[in-house]
Structure 1
Amino acid sequence: MSTVTVTAADRTLYHVAAVQLADVTQWWRIAQLNGMSDPDLSGISTPVTLQIPAQDSSLTDGYPPQD
């Protein structure tokens, strides 16, 4: 796990996931890890540090695994 500081300029968790995990569909993993539900970052007024999960190439469809 790593961390990254984001601002409203990062636009969305989709963008963060594309850059940090090389897979835009894994935005939900970042959201879950950081207690977020909305991928929109435009409301952030100050920089926020997010935890970034390790890359997981087994998750390829953009949805959390179903139990």
Structure 2
Amino acid sequence: MEPEAYHHPDIICQRATALAELAATVDNTKNRQAREHLLDFMERICRTLQPPRPAELKVINGTPDE
């Protein structure tokens, strides 16, 4: 992979998602807060890098996004 590719939004989002999936496997109380911070961080990264376009918005949990 070219060095520039590491900075591509899709790659960053994929890596953040992989970290969040790893964090989700942590079950003990000591690491629960760290896991929650990592999941939140991953969500913010992906949302910032790939904001949804109106045509791509879907119904989530039975409620349409606005």
Query: Structure 2 length as normaliser, TM-score?
Result: 0.25
* Greater C-alpha Rg: 2
Higher helix share: 2
TM-score (normalizing by structure 1): 0.25
Task: Give the structure with the larger strand fraction.
Answer: 1
Higher relative contact order (CA 8 A, sep 6+): 1
